[in-house]
Chains A and B, each alone.
Chain A
C-alpha cells in the first residue's frame, strides 16, 4: 500500500502503468459495473473544501471497485468545528478506514496526513499546492486523444500562481519529454518562484509569456485554468485580474489537431462555443475521471485489476 500525494514523486513508469490499467478498465467496461476487488474495505472521502467532479468520481470509482464509502463534507461535519486538530481527525480516519481520500484548504495537508496515517492517503487537492489525480486524468486524456505525451507542445494558460491543477500538471510534464512548454499568464498570476525553480531543477524547458496569441499556433495542447478567486489573499487583487484572459472559438477554429483541456469548473476563460468542436477535450477529462481514479485507488491499495 502506498500514498498518492505528490505528482513529482510518481514516476513515469507508474504513470504509464496507470494508463494501461485505465485502458483495461475502459476496454472491459469495469467502470460500468460493480466489482469485488475492495470488498469489505472502507474508503473515507474527506472533503473539507467544495468539490463536485472530484468527490463524485472518487465515490463512484471506490464503489465500482467494491469498497464502501464514507463521505465527510466540510469541516462542520466533523469535530474540527469543535476545535479538534486536523492531525487528530486524520488519526481517527486512520483507525476507521482503509483508504483516505483527502481534500483540504491548506497547502501540504495531504503530505502531513500521509505522515500521520498508516492507511494510504490520496491527495484530492491541497490548497493551491497540488491535485495529482486530476493530472493523471489530464495526461490520460492527452494520451487517448493524441497517442503520447512526449514530443508535444503545451500551453498552460491562466492562473499559474494559485491553480493546483496547473502546478501538478507542470510537475508531471517533467517526467516526460515535451517539445516545448509555454506558461501563459497575466503578470499577477505568474508561477511562484518556488515552482519556477523546481521546474528548472527538473530540467523542464519552458517559456513565460503573457499573450496566448503569441504561442497558440505552435502548440498541440492548450490547458486552460480558472482564476482561483478563493485563493486570493486580497479580493482587490482578484478584481484586477478578473477576465484578463479568455480562449475564444475564433482563436482555435482554424487550428487542426489542437486539443483544449480544462479541469473545470470554468467561469469566463473558456468560450462555450468551443464545446462542440473536436478540440474540446474537457468533457473527455470528466468522462475519464472514474476509470483513472479506479486505477489510482487500485494502485495505492496494491490491487491488480
Chain B
C-alpha cells in the first residue's frame, strides 16, 4: 500500500490486518475480543479503496497486540483475503496472507442443536472440515451440518 493511500496513522509495535473484505472489520474485532476498553490503541478504517481487492476493504491496526494461531485461523474464516503485518519498532517485520484451514477445531459452533458437539457436559470440541474453497463452506465432522460462507460469522465461537 502506498503512503498516499494510507489514511490512518502508523503503529510502533503491533499488528496491522489489511485487505479485510469491506464491512467485516467489526467481525474481526469481535474475534479478537476488542471492545475499545482494553486500553491499547486501535485504528480502524472502513471502506477504503483497495487495488488488490478491486474495490473496498477494511483495515485494522492494533498497537501492542500480536495474534495467536487460533485468532488468525478465525480471522481467515470471516476475512479470507486478509493480510497480517507484524510491526516492530515501526517496521513491518513479517507480512503474511491468511489461509483458511482444512480442519477447524474449537472455533465454529455447530448450527445443529442435536449435534454431539453441542452437548455441554460432554465437552466435545467442535470440528469442521472444509468442503468448498470459494464460496467458503465447512461441514461438521460429527453430524455433517454445513456452514456456508455468509453464515460463518454467526457461528464463530471464540
A-to-B contact residues, CB < 8 Å: 83, 85-87, 104-109, 111-112, 126-129, 192-195, 197-198, 201, 231, 233
Q: Is B40 an interface residue (CB 8 A)?
A: no
What are some 20 contacts across the A-B interface (CB < 8 A)?
A: A85-B121, A86-B116, A86-B119, A87-B122, A87-B123, A87-B124, A104-B116, A106-B114, A107-B115, A107-B144, A108-B117, A109-B142, A112-B142, A127-B114, A129-B143, A129-B144, A194-B139, A194-B144, A197-B146, A198-B146
Task: Out of A87, A109, A194, A233, name the residue touching B145 (CB < 8 Å).
Answer: A194
Once the chains are docked, how many angstroms separate the CA of A195 from the CA of B114?
A: 16
Is the CB–CB distance between A107 and B142 below 8 Å?
A: yes
**A233-B144 Cα distance, complex, nearest whole Å:** 19
Task: Count B-side interface residues using an 8 Å CB cutoff.
Answer: 22
Q: Does the CB pair A201–B124 fall under 8 Å?
A: no
How many A-B pairs fall under 8 Å by CB? 65
Instruction: Indicate which residue in A108, A194, A198, A233 contacts B116 across the interface (CB closer than 8 Å).
Output: A108
Contact of B114 among A86, A87, A107, A198 (CB under 8 A): A107
What separation, in Å, do the CA atoms of A90 and B121 have in the docked complex?
Answer: 15
13 additional A-B pairs beyond A108-B143, A192-B145, A233-B113, beta carbons within 8 Å, are A85-B121, A86-B122, A106-B115, A107-B114, A107-B142, A107-B143, A107-B144, A108-B140, A108-B144, A109-B142, A112-B116, A194-B139, A201-B132
Within 8 A of A (CB), among B18-73: none
Contact of B119 among A83, A106, A194 (CB under 8 A): A106
B142 proximity list for chain A (CB < 8 A): 107-109, 111-112
A129 to B143, CA, bound (A): 6
Tell me the residues in window 124-150 of chain B with beta carbons closer than 8 Å to chain A beta carbons.
124, 131-132, 137, 139-146
Contact residues in B for A108 (Cβ distance below 8 Å) = 115-117, 140-144
> Any chain A CB within 8 A of the CB of B112?
yes
Report how far A197 CA is from B144 CA in the complex, Å.
11
Type the 1/0 row for B73-113, where 1 means its CB is closer than 8 Å to any CB of A. 00000000000000000000000000000000000000011
Which B residue sits closest to A107, measured CB to CB?
B143
- Are the CB atoms of A128 and B114 closer together than 8 Å? yes
Q: Mark B9-22, 1 if CB is under 8 A from A, else 0.
A: 00000000000000
Distance in Å: Cβ of B72 to nearest Cβ of chain A = 26
Contact status B114-A85, CB under 8 Å: no
Given contacts A87-B122, A127-B114, contact A194 B141 (CB under 8 A): no
Most chain B beta-carbon neighbours within 10 Å: one of A105, A109, A192: A109
**Shortest Cβ distance from A231 into B: residue:** B114
- Nearest residue in A to B110 (C-beta to C-beta)? A108
Cα distance A193–B112 in the bound complex, in angstroms: 12
Q: Which 8 A-B pairs have the closest CB atoms?
A: A108-B142, A107-B143, A108-B143, A194-B146, A106-B116, A108-B116, A112-B116, A109-B116
When distances are taken between beta carbons in the complex, the residues of chain B under 8 Å from A105 are: 114
Distance from A112 Cβ to chain B, minimum over Cβ atoms (Å): 5
Task: Give the chain A neighbours of B114 by CB distance below 8 A.
Answer: 105-107, 127-128, 231
Q: Which residues of B contact A126 (CB under 8 A)?
A: 116, 143
Q: Which residue of A lies closest to B132 (CB)?
A: A201
Contact B146–A112 (Cβ < 8 Å): no
Complex Cα–Cα for A231 and B124 (A):
22
Of all chain A residues, the one with the shortest Cβ separation from B141 is A111
Tell me, in angstroms, the Cα distance from A192 to B139 when the chains sit together. 13
Interchain CA distance A126-B142 in the complex, whole Å: 10
Asked if A198 and B144 make an inter-chain contact with CB atoms under 8 angstroms apart, the answer reads yes
Residues of B within 8 A of A104 (CB): 116
Q: How far is the CA of A104 from the CA of B141 in the complex (A)?
A: 17
Question: Taking A108-B115, A201-B131 as contacts, is the C-beta distance between A193 and B123 under 8 angstroms?
Answer: no
Which chain B positions have C-beta within 8 A of A87?
A: 122-124
Known: A108-B143, A127-B143, A194-B144. A85 touches B116 (CB 8 A): no
